Structure 1
Amino acid sequence: MPPSGTETAHINGDIILFVGVGGVKLRASRYGDPQSPPALLLHGGGQTRHAWADTAVALAEAGYCAFTIDARGHGDSDWSPDGDYRADLLAADLAEVMRSLDADPVIIGASMGGLTAMLTLGEDPALTCRALVLVDVAPRLERAGVRRIIEFMRRHQDGFASLEQVRDAIAAYNPHRPPPEDLSGLRKNLRQRADGRYYWHWDPAFLDHARMPVDDEGMFDISRLNAAAQHLDLPTLLIRGYQSDVLSDAGARELLSIIPHARYAVLDQAGHMVAGDRNTVFTETVLDFLNHPDMTGNANSGLTGARR
């Protein structure tokens, strides 16, 4: 998934490490008081933890200890030594992170991060979570939109000569969002090699698993996700970008039929990268959900069906 390009460069959390399956080190940034209720923010495929910086700061100000985590093979986390990025490993990493916490977390997951959370929580009843926010993701996604993301990721494996080229590539993918004037924030999504060129900050072997969806199958198995979703009995919010070409309203409502207690919010002027497209409204929507006096997930209250 292309980076949001909207990170605030001066916002940084405390750097900490989690340990995933096989000893893989997962780099994270922590925002807020470590004694506050934890919130885990999981990015999409090809992104890094820095996509969540502004939301993490807002969560910390609201009384949470927010952890933005680089998935294995992404950002500053270790690469899988054997190039294995199956959904099972991503879910197992999240389970290890959750077990290391002193309290049940809130989980906010976008795209790959949301599917990872859905699979992890739905298949392991021993793992408990206070609430789940799924960002523009459901078991059934639009193949054309997923294909466009993967084609973007594959198109630039030879890197970029300048940050301006990175900016232009992102703008071509998401022409509805004005490109940033300050390009320094893009560096957090890139590695600069000895040849001077910039490369996306993820393991190219990840693309062997983020394959093109064929016959409704991609990196995550749909039938397995649907089965996992049936076991999600915790407060759940699904947020969709109105302009998203990855999650349709039909795909969203298919998930809502499986999780009937979930709330549903649609954000105008936002595509698949909802938090990057409309960060302020996105964060307000998440906090409205988390602050609702009825955290039972009652479908008749709060944000269900809301469009903002």
Structure 2
Amino acid sequence: MIPASGGLQVAADIYGTEGPLVVLQHGGGQTRHAWKGAGQKLAEAGYLAVSLDARGHGDSDWAPDGDYSNDALVEDLVAVVDSFEQRPILVGASMGGGTSLTAVGEGRVDAAALVLVDTAPRIEAGGVRKIRDFMGQAPDGFSSLEEVADAIANYQPHRKRPRTLDGLAKNVRLWPDGRYRWHWDPEFMRRKRSLKDRVPRQEEAARNVDCPSLLVRGGLSDVLSEEGAQAYLELVPHSEYANVGEAAHMVAGDRNDIFVAAVLDFLGKIAAPS
């Protein structure tokens, strides 16, 4: 566990023992385990990769006041980065990307580089709604891991169904009533979020990004459109861009091989291990 803000602690997995620091932040409703494959590959390439459970997710503390705002997530990131003694490379998917962009663009974190994964200031309301609908289903939980697998398969029909259900145990918690519920604080879903209010702040943050940047989009994504990606590149003209054609919103989960190759190619130019 790593100290975060407000007295909370966040869970983390660390891959590697030395090298440039890469902080991996997952999307809403995910856990740090979403980065396992990427973390291992980064460590093999000589980086020190740290994947975090956001507050209220996975094994991290839940916020007693239910504060899961972008500001709270940024404060947590600042606290985590301060516990390491080097400038971080921030890699954030979806919600984690929004946190990273705000932290860099508003001068809260002095990042060596910024990698956004299928997120940008302008994202698609329909895709976001689909995610929220998925996360909001079965508030009373699931009776079995098979039901959990069915729900995930319906949400991600382009992915092959896993042969075993063992990995699903990291995405849910078994409650005392014998029901499986998603691995996040229910209060996270109760907080209202406005895309309209989000855009101006994120765009202003993007204009202020002066570190090397890479935007990775899933070619099948219904969250970040090609238009949204190009709008980010206009705001951050020095940013590099990679389109992973066979991936949807969860790029690293869909095509981790292509995703990691793009990230390592980018980092090799600006933050190669010594």
TM-score computed with the length of structure 2 as normaliser: 0.96
SS of match in other structure, 1:285: helix
Instruction: Give yes or no for the alignment of 1:112 onto 2:112.
Output: no
Instruction: Give yes or no for the alignment of 1:274 onto 2:251.
Output: yes
Show the counterpart of 1:29: 13
**Separation (CA, whole Å) in 2 of partners of 1:158 and 1:278:** 32
**Separation (CA, whole Å) in 2 of partners of 1:162 and 1:181:** 16
| Counterpart mapping for 1:1-308 below 5 A | 17-33=1-17, 35-124=18-107, 127-209=109-191, 211=193, 213=194, 216-217=195-196, 221-292=198-269
Is there any run of 5+ residues in structure 2 with no aligned partner, and where?
Answer: none
Give the residue type in structure 1 aligned to 2:14.
R
**Separation (CA, whole Å) in 1 of partners of 2:122 and 2:33:** 27
TM-score computed with the length of structure 1 as normaliser: 0.86
| Structure 1 runs (4+) greater than 3 angstroms displaced | none
Show the counterpart of 1:14: none
Instruction: Provide Cα deviations, 1:249-300, integer angstroms capped at 9, x if missing partner.
Output: 00011011000000111011110011111111111111111112x56xxxxx
Report how far residue 240 of structure 1 moved.
0.3
Superposed CA RMSD in Å reads 1.2
Give the residue type in structure 2 aligned to 1:154.
G
Identity of aligned residues (%): 52
Show the counterpart of 1:299: none
Whether the aligned pair in 2 keeps the contact of 1:150 and 1:210 (CA below 8 Å) is: no
Instruction: Provide Cα deviations, 1:147-186, integer angstroms capped at 9, x if missing partner.
Output: 0000111112211111111111011011111111121011
Report how far residue 210 of structure 1 moved.
5.5
Alignment length, in residue pairs? 271
Give the residue type in structure 2 aligned to 1:96.
A
Report how far residue 217 of structure 1 moved.
2.4
Whether the aligned pair in 2 keeps the contact of 1:70 and 1:77 (CA below 8 Å) is: yes
Report how far residue 52 of structure 1 moved.
0.3
Instruction: Provide Cα deviations, 1:187-246, integer angstroms capped at 9, x if missing partner.
Output: 0111101122111100000012254x5xx426xx21011111111111100000011000
Is there any run of 5+ residues in structure 1 with no aligned partner, and where?
Answer: 1-16, 296-308
Q: Which has the higher helix share?
A: 2
Give the residue type in structure 1 aligned to 2:208.
H
**Separation (CA, whole Å) in 2 of partners of 1:238 and 1:284:** 13
Instruction: Provide Cα deviations, 1:12-31, integer angstroms capped at 9, x if missing partner.
Output: xxxxx211111110110111
Give the residue type in structure 1 aligned to 2:66.
G
Instruction: Provide Cα deviations, 1:31-84, integer angstroms capped at 9, x if missing partner.
Output: 101x32211000000000000001000001111111110000000000001111
**Separation (CA, whole Å) in 1 of partners of 2:259 and 2:192:** 26
**Separation (CA, whole Å) in 1 of partners of 2:67 and 2:75:** 13
Give the residue type in structure 2 aligned to 1:249.
E
**Separation (CA, whole Å) in 1 of partners of 2:164 and 2:208:** 44
Whether the aligned pair in 2 keeps the contact of 1:42 and 1:69 (CA below 8 Å) is: yes
SS of match in other structure, 1:217: helix
